[in-house]
Structure 1
Amino acid sequence: MICFFPGILCLYKSIIYNSQLESFKLVVLSRGLSANNESTLRQLPGVRVINLDKLDGLGAGTGLNAKKMFNMNKLYLFGLDEYEKLVYLDADMLCLGDLRPLEHIEPWAMAPDYGQNVGASVGQRMMFNTGVMVLRPCKETFGNLVKTLRGMRFGHFADQAVINKYLNDDSVPVECLHPKWNLIISNKHINKKMYSDIMKSGVKFMHFTKIKPWAIGRGLLVEKTSSKVYLHAKDRLLRWRFKEEIALWKSADASMRIETASSAV
Structure 2
Amino acid sequence: MDAELVMLVRSGGTDGVSAENITRLEKAGWRVKEAEELEFENVDTSQIRSHHRHNLNKLHVWSWTEYERIIFLDADTVCKGSLAELWQMPGDFAAAPDVWWDVITDNRFNSGLMVLRPSTEEFHSLVKHVSDPNYHSPNDADQAFLNTYYRFRYFGLPYKYNFNLIMYQFHRYYWDLLWDEAVIVHFTVRKPKPNPRDHCHKGCNEWEPMEWYGMMFREMLAFYGWEDDIPLYA
Length-normalised TM-score, structure 1: 0.71
Aligned pair 1:192/2:172, yes or no?
yes
AA of the residue aligned to 1:130 = S
Aligned pair 1:178/2:162, yes or no?
no
CA RMSD of aligned residues (A): 2.9
1:6-47: CA deviation from partner (whole Å, max 9, x where unpaired)? xxxxxxxxxxxxxxx3x32111110110111112112222x2
1:116-155: CA deviation from partner (whole Å, max 9, x where unpaired)? 423697xxxx210011111111112112211221122144
Gaps of at least 5 residues in structure 2 are 11-15
1:57 to 38, 48, 51: 38
- For residues 87 and 242 of structure 1, the distance between their equivalents in structure 2, rounded to whole angstroms, comes to 27
Q: Secondary structure at the match of 1:88?
A: strand
- For residues 116 and 159 of structure 1, the distance between their equivalents in structure 2, rounded to whole angstroms, comes to 21
Q: 1:247 to 1:100 in 2, by over 3 A?
A: same
| Contact 1:112–1:128, Cα closer than 8 Å, also in 2 | yes
Structure with higher RCO (Cα < 8 A, 6+ apart): 1
Could you say which residue in structure 1 is the equivalent of 2:9?
A: 30
2:128 to 124, 135, 147: 147
| Contact 1:74–1:159, Cα closer than 8 Å, also in 2 | yes
Gaps of at least 5 residues in structure 1 are 1-20, 218-234
Moved over 6 A (4+): 235-239
Q: 1:117 to 1:154 in 2, by over 3 A?
A: farther
Could you say which residue in structure 1 is the equivalent of 2:23?
A: 39
Paired residues, what number?
A: 213
- For residues 96 and 84 of structure 1, the distance between their equivalents in structure 2, rounded to whole angstroms, comes to 24
Could you say which residue in structure 2 is the equivalent of 1:161?
A: 144
2:62 to 72, 75, 78: 78
Q: 1:238 to 1:61 in 2, by over 3 A?
A: farther
Q: 1:238 to 1:181 in 2, by over 3 A?
A: farther
| Contact 2:196–2:217, Cα closer than 8 Å, also in 1 | no
How big is the shift at 1:191? 2.6
1:92-135: CA deviation from partner (whole Å, max 9, x where unpaired)? 111111222222223321111113423697xxxx2100111111
Alignment of 1:1-265 (within 5 A): 21=1, 23-31=2-10, 32-45=16-29, 47-52=30-35, 55=36, 57-65=38-46, 69-106=53-90, 107-118=92-103, 126-151=107-132, 152-155=136-139, 158-168=141-151, 171-172=152-153, 174-199=154-179, 201-211=180-190, 212-214=193-195, 240-256=204-220, 257-259=222-224
Identity %: 28
How big is the shift at 1:57? 2.5
Length-normalised TM-score, structure 2: 0.80
Q: 1:77 to 1:116 in 2, by over 3 A?
A: farther
